Chain A
Amino acid sequence: QVQLQESGPGLVKPSGTLSLSCAVSGGSISTNDWWTWVRQPPGKGLEWIGEVYHTGSTNFNPSLKSRVTMSVDKSKNQISLTLSSVTAADTAIYYCARESAALSLACMDIWGKGTAVTVSS
Chain B
Amino acid sequence: SYVLTQPPSVSVAPGQTARITCGGKKIGDKSVHWYRLKPDQAPVLVVHDDSDRPSGIPERFSGSNSGNTATLTISRVEAGDGADYYCQVWDDKTDQRLFGGGTKLTVL
Binding site for B on A (CB under 8 A): 4, 36, 38, 40, 45-48, 51, 59, 61-62, 95, 97, 103-114
Residues on A with beta carbons closer than 8 Å to the beta carbon of B35? 46, 108
Residues on A with beta carbons closer than 8 Å to the beta carbon of B49? 103-104, 107
Is A45 a contact partner of B100 (Cβ separation < 8 A)?
yes
- Given A45-B99, A45-B102, A59-B95, A107 and B43 contact (CB-CB distance below 8 Å): no
Is A105 a contact partner of B41 (Cβ separation < 8 A)?
no
The reply to whether the CB of B42 lies closer than 8 angstroms to some CB of chain A is yes
User: Tally of A-B residue pairs with Cβ under 8 A?
Assistant: 67
How far is B33's CA from A112's CA once the two chains are assembled, in angstroms?
18
Most buried by B among A45, A110, A113: A45
Residues on B with beta carbons closer than 8 Å to the beta carbon of A59? 95
- Given A107-B48, A109-B54, A47 and B40 contact (CB-CB distance below 8 Å): no
Is A106 a contact partner of B89 (Cβ separation < 8 A)?
yes
Q: Chain B's nearest CB lies how many Å from the CB of A1?
A: 11
Residues on B with beta carbons closer than 8 Å to the beta carbon of A62? 94, 96
Please name 14 further chain A to chain B contacts, defined as beta carbons within 8 Å, in addition to the given A110-B45, A113-B42, sorted by A numbering.
A36-B97, A45-B99, A46-B37, A46-B86, A46-B102, A51-B97, A62-B96, A95-B43, A104-B90, A105-B90, A106-B31, A106-B89, A106-B97, A108-B88
